[in-house]
Amino acid sequence: MDDIDLAAERIDMLNAAAIQAVLGKVETVPSSGICRACNEPIEPDRLKANPYAKHCHDCADELEALAKMARRRGPG
């Protein structure tokens, strides 16, 4: 086996580990119906569209805006 084959094998192993890590984080428990951020009820239409929703519409929008700003700023 040459260096290219070893590197390709290592990449395959790292990709498989990354996929398993993401799959392990997938929510499998339906929402409680209460927003994790404000403790208010999550809108019924939102829960109908996504039974795994963890935040109400307003809190989800705010969290998305904060995440977008963090991505623009970059790391640390």
pLDDT digits (tens, 9 = 90+) for 18-54: 888 777 766 667 889 999 999 999 999 999 999 989 9
* Per-residue pLDDT at 1: 63
- Per DSSP, the residues of the chain read --HHHHHHHHHHHHHHHHHHHHHHHS--S---SB-TTT-PBPPHHHHHH-TT--S-HHHHHHHHHHHHHHHHH---
Q: Against a cut of 0.75, is the pTM above it?
A: no
The count of domains in the chain is 1
* Per-residue pLDDT at 48: 95
Q: How confident is the model at residue 76 (pLDDT cuts 50, 70, 90)?
A: low
Domain hosting residue 25, numbered range? 3-73
